[in-house]
Amino acid sequence: MTRTAFASVFPDADAPQSLQRGSLRLAEILGALSHALDLTEGQPKGHCKRACWIGVQIGTEIGLCAAGLSNVFFTTLLKDLGCSSNAARICELYLTDDIGFKQDFKTLDGSLSAALRFVFTKTGLEVGLAERIRAIVNILRNGGELVDELIETRCNRGADIAARLRFNTAVQTGIRHLDEHFDGSGRPQALHAQEIPLESRIALVAQVTDIFRTEGGPRAAVAEVKRRSGGWFDPLVVQALEKVSAQPGFWEVLDSPDIDSHLFSMTPAIQSVLVDEEYLDQIAQAFCDVVDAKSPFTAGHSERVTLYTDMIAEAVGMEPQKRRHLRRAALLHDIGKLAVSNQILDKPGRLSQQEWDAVKSHPLHSQAILQHVHAFADLAPIAGAHHERLDGKGYPFGLVGDEIPVEARMLTVADVFDALTADRPYRNAMPVAAALAIIRNDVGTAFDIRYVDALEQGLDALG
């Protein structure tokens, strides 16, 4: 965001221009939002998109019909919808950075010796020796049950969010069974061979192909997939990957910075539904659920902030259509927190400077994610500025006064109020009166008095 003075992000028309075109396809919106899932899994930007493209190539080679290819497209693109739901538990069990843990875990070769090395090299490196030993012993004693728990939480959560996004049963079950293996050694239900949905079998091969391509190049990727044929992977799917990956241009597409043009020109993307205003509301709500699932301390945070922000907007007379878009901004304002480890977000003690810098980066991530989603581009400056202060001492841009969008000023009041009145790792929730007193004390320096008054008016109306 440039330091330009303006009153509002939204223009005077009934809706932002990006929402007036009426030609926003579901595939493009979710493809752009998939970057948030890449961040949570510690994967390079575009991982979900590349895996999606690989999956559709495999499905085409197998001979799937249009409906089947569509199911593979969205199963693979959204395979990580539940990724945030086990982040806090990973930090609790392994005493480590959940994002780095997930990134490295995906490159294991599947052997017991590799798993043991991983546990010893990842667990509790920044804690005392006694605490580290207790954590390792717990993992070694209960490893199977713990991994089942982590995977089941992730996959079930992802399937539930896919249902809220209106996807059919095939996509939901495809996401739910992503971590099942062809030989029955997968989790959490140890499904075997054809018991595993084809969408899951294809998505897992596509995921591993892109991960090992990134780590070691095309040959390493194909070799790893072939090595697991009949074990993790369906041999039919592996054979299809071998054929398509030998075709001219296959690896070049994956290395292309313009993966979007290849992905969204495929039939499943072109034939995906046009998204209306109601569907956009549901998409914002679904990704809000992804964000709020990341930490037990932020569960419900974005929804409550949305309620308070809407109360403020109503009290100051904002027109209904703009209130609708502001609600979406509130739902998605913290989407950038998916890029921050729970080891930092849930830390009960004082943050180091490096940890504080990571926290302060989340509005930048929020803005970067949203500005690439055509339907939500108008929300990006609001999400990016929700930690700014009128006196210029906020972050990440140090905006001053009218440089801060009015919608962001409303959102800031709501965000701080909810943070004060909810439990946090470092303190218990404050009473409403105490929270309002703190906010009142910073009127004119941090907060705009109009929106503090409006919040109190809305709270009074609630009784």
| Active site residue ranges | 337
**Which is nearest to 338 in space by CA: 37, 77, 43, 47?**
37
Other CB atoms within 10 A of residue 410 CB: 29
d(CA 385, CA 239): 49
| Cis bond upstream, residue 197 (ω within 30) | no
Other CB atoms within 10 A of residue 300 CB: 13
Tokens of 335: 């989407």
What's the Rg (C-alpha) of the chain? 23
Spell out the residues 6+ positions from residue 128 whose beta carbon is closer than 8 angstroms to its own: none
Q: Which amino acid is at 259?
A: I
**Which is nearest to 259 in space by CA: 372, 175, 381, 106?**
372
Range list of H helices, 334-395: 342-345, 353-360, 362-371, 380-384
Whether the CB-CB separation of 176 and 78 falls below 8 Å is answered with no
Spell out the residues 6+ positions from residue 346 whose beta carbon is closer than 8 angstroms to its own: 88, 91, 295, 296, 297, 425
**Which is nearest to 180 in space by CA: 222, 237, 130, 125?**
237
d(CA 133, CA 138): 9
Other CB atoms within 10 A of residue 127 CB: 14
Phi, psi of 66 (to 5 degrees): -60, -45
Query: Long-range contacts for 415-419 (Cβ within 8 Å, ≥24 apart)?
Result: 415/305, 415/333, 415/386, 415/387, 416/446, 416/447, 417/308, 417/455, 418/301, 418/304, 418/305, 418/308, 419/301
3-class state of residue 166 by DSSP: coil
Helix axes 129-164, 87-94, angle to 10 degrees: 170
